[in-house]
């Protein structure tokens, strides 16, 4: 099991705690320090069953500064912005095998335990 984690985020901390309380030591990926590649993000989107737009944090300054609300931007363009500005990636993402969930709310992770 892997968690794309931001220790400053309460939802991310709570999700990690649920996993650890279930007796699982996940691989913790501090994605702000080691951003996922475009291929990694595409893989996560497939496992989540989401589009790139669904995974964007719309309240971030980088979202507004880059006009990411523009509907003409392609999936690949949005993914490139997430690679360049990993803060744009909604968190936490928990992966187990070929499935993933977004820990919003943290209880979503129960589906993978």
Separation CA 90–CA 82 (nearest Å): 10
Q: First-to-last CA distance in the chain? A: 9
Dihedral angle sign, alpha carbons of residues 10, 11, 14, 20:
negative
Per annotation, catalytic residue among 1, 9, 28, 112: 9
Separation CA 101–CA 109 (nearest Å): 6
Give catalytic status of residue 9 as yes or no: yes
Say if residues 5 and 91 touch (Cβ distance below 8 Å). Answer: yes
The residues assigned a catalytic role are 9
């Amino acid at each position: 099991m892997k968690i794309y984690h931001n220790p400053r985020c309460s939802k991310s901390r709570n999700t990690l705690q649920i996993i650890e309380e279930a007796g699982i030591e996940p691989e913790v990926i501090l994605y702000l320090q080691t951003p996922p590649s475009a291929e990694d993000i595409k893989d996560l989107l497939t496992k989540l069953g989401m589009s790139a737009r669904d995974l964007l944090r719309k309240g971030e300054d980088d979202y507004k500064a880059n006009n990411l609300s523009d509907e003409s931007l392609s999936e690949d363009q949005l993914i490139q912005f997430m690679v360049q500005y990993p803060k744009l990636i909604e968190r936490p993402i928990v992966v187990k095998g070929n499935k993933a969930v977004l820990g919003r709310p943290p209880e979503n992770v129960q589906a993978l335990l």
